[in-house]
Structure formats: C-alpha cells, structure tokens
Amino acid sequence: MRAPNGVLPFTHAVRVYYEDTDAGGIVYYVNYLKFMERARTEALRSLGYAQSQMAEANLLFVVHSAEAQYRQPARLDDALVVRTGVVELNRASLVFEQAIYHQEQDALLCQGRFTVACVRADTMKPQAMPATLREAFAQQLSAR
C-alpha cells in the first residue's frame, strides 16, 4: 500500500545539545539519523506501541536501509522539528519518509527515507506486524 503525496503527519521536537555537534559547532551528520530514529520511535509510541512492549512480544523493528540528504546545518541550541510519515506499508515492513526542519526558520535541514522491517527478536526473521499496528499505520496512509 502506498501513500499519496502530502504532509508528514507525526512531528517530534528536538533540541541540539553540545554533544550533538562536531568541532566546527554544527550537528555531526550521523546525529540527524539519531534524531530521525527517535522520531520513528515516538511515532510508534503515539500509536500505542512502545519498543519495549514489542520486544517483550518477541518483535523488533530493524532498519533495512537508510538514505539521507543534508541541506543546511543545525547548530548548538537550535530547536528542530522532525516530521515523520509512513509512505509504504507491507505485511512485515514499512517505509518512512522523514524531514528535519529548523523550528524557527522552517528551513529544511535534512530529509531521509528508511525501510524498516518487523522481525522476530529470537530469530531475526521477518514477522508480520501485529494487525492492530498495521491498521493504525494504514489509517495514517489513508488520511494523507
């Protein structure tokens, strides 16, 4: 199932801390990926599924592939917003598109696309997502 083009539905606020920056005072490139990971985790939590609960049910989400394009740097103390949306939903995987914006300037800093697979924690083999979670993601897709 593919999503139509539209606004990414989930937002997560991030503040840039000293530990996020490099020697030049800008956010180190890999930390944008961390910000997006946190936003995906919070998007999942907003649907009623904490990663810890999924692990207890022997399920994990693992990143299969990641792609990022960097547009502008973020700096110490910047307030950022990570926008996250599911753009493709399959039985045991989904594709997220994400964008990080400077909150005050509404400037696009980084965007990414991530394929995430649902796997059994004990075997790391693909596993269908719980029906209720898949339905929640499907509702997001149809709302776009």
Catalytic amino acids? 22
Half-sphere CA count of 123, side-chain side, radius 13 A? 5
Q: Are the CB atoms for 106 and 48 separated by under 8 Å?
A: no
Q: Is 55 helix (H, G, I), strand (E, B) or coil?
A: helix
Closest CA to 49 of 90, 67, 31, 41: 41
Pairwise CA distance, residues 90 & 88, whole Å: 7
Pairwise CA distance, residues 126 & 64, whole Å: 11
